Amino acid sequence: MAVPGHVLDPLTDFLVCPWTVNLLCHCEFVWQSGLSADPGHHHWTCCVNLAQTGFLPNVFKAMSHRPAEFRAFFAYYNAIMNKDTGQLSKADKELIIVATSVVNRCPYCVVAHGALHRIYSKQPALADQVIVNWKLADLNDRELAMLEFALAVCRADNITEEHFQKLEAHGFDREDAWDIGMISAFFAMSNRIAHYIDLRPNKEFYTMGRTPREEKETEKAEHA
């Protein structure tokens, strides 16, 4: 059921609201965390389009251990990743997460968000290039400036006026800089959580977005 005034993203819009609980009546998260499946109940839950992804990301299973923290975590995730203002595309945001998660040595976020970047950008190799060496990746000047700023935040460098000027030279304003900084900071926390609980990527993430959907459909038909 759609939420009035909100367009759901089929892959990552983990919308926290009572309207979406119907979609999870058979979702493992509901039962593991003890949340009510009654649409009128004020429990928060996540909207995962299982018909699109075909699996429940492991981060949901892990964070459902503490429902209050789950709600807070994904509420902020939604605020920074699914906002409809600013000049960062979904692919931009995923690339920031990949680059900073490499520095923080977080396999889960590197693999999972590398998959999402492939899907949003339609570029099956770029995230892999960034993982190996972002300075040698096929990035344009805008993307290089964006990642340079994100990594400065990730490394806890002293952020100076020069950092903002470099961003502005490539079309980013101060609000965009805030978005880049908040994504870098939030996922630094997420990386640490994943490290602490030994969170590993779902195997499905490794192949997502590498083969065009048309090719996959053809392969399925040939093996049917």
- Looking up tokens 């699914």 gives 82
CB atoms within 10 A of CB 58: 17
- In degrees, to the nearest 5, what angle opens at C-alpha 194 toward C-alphas 12 and 51? 30
> Which pLDDT score, from 0 to 100, does residue 54 have?
76
**DSSP label of 42:** -
Domain locations along the chain: 18-78, 90-212
What digits encode the pLDDT tens for the residues 81-108?
999 899 999 999 999 999 999 999 999 9
Residue 99's region, left for phi above 0, alpha for psi from -120 to 50, else beta, is alpha
Measured CA to CA, the distance from residue 215 to residue 205 in angstroms comes to 18
Query: Does domain 90-212 match CATH 1.10.3720.10?
Result: no
- Encode the chain (224 residues) as per-residue pLDDT tens digits: 333 444 444 444 444 433 333 333 334 344 344 444 443 333 333 444 444 567 889 998 899 889 999 999 999 999 999 998 999 999 999 999 999 999 999 999 999 999 999 999 999 999 999 999 999 999 999 999 999 999 999 999 999 999 999 999 999 999 999 999 999 999 999 999 999 999 999 999 999 999 876 555 545 555 55
